Amino acid sequence: MFEYDPYAELARLKDFPAMTLTSAEFEHGQPLPKECWGSGMGGADRSPQLSWSGAPEGTRSFALSVFDPDAPTGSGYWHWAVYDIDPSVTSLDPDAGNGAPDSLPGGAVTLPNEARSERYIGSAPPATTGTHRYFYVIDALDVSHLEIAPGSTPAVLGFNRHFHSLGRGILIGTASSD
């Protein structure tokens, strides 16, 4: 079976030096904690703790997103998208994506996810769709601010960050309702 990796496809367009992205709550390729699942699936829609390192010289901000390429939509599903994270920030506490005014570091901007809410929404793989992969991705950017219109989609962030990325870290969590 062919497994689609959207970030490997992007790598064909441009090489990004590797950064390290980790979580104290789950290992790469392993199941997400139940708290990080969607509330409709018994979770709490809580973003996991995340830490990153290895940002290249010249990093002026970070962008972070969570994407499920296995969602049965034909275009995947964006769970969270944040940009303009200050370059001095190298970690986020659990539940930093709750949408409260001071939950993220000052200056960080959250875009609407697929549910059109400006917050993290947890995994919710529909029954019979197998195991889904959730790509947590951090990019080090060469600009301190991305010019993105308010209310833009995470795909617009992906387009803009691609042209300003200096490095990228990827952490994959999984979830299955089967």
- Domain with 124 in it: what CATH number? 3.90.280.10
Enter the DSSP assignment of 119: S
Can you give the pTM of this predicted structure?
A: 0.93
Average pLDDT over residues 62-84: 96
From residue 108, alpha-carbon distances to 61, 131, 134 in Å are 9, 31, 22
Going 113 to 139 to 145 to 164, the CA torsion angle's sign is negative
Residue 131's Cα: distance from chain center in Å?
18
User: How many domains would you assign to the chain?
Assistant: 1
Average pLDDT over residues 60-87: 96
Q: Whole domain around residue 45: which residue ranges? A: 6-175
Residue 76: other Cβ atoms inside 10 A: 19
Whether 1 maps to a domain, the answer reads no
Does position 108 have pLDDT exceeding 80, yes or no?
yes
Residue 67: other Cβ atoms inside 10 A: 24
Q: Give the pLDDT score at 73.
A: 92
Whether 139 maps to a domain, the answer reads yes
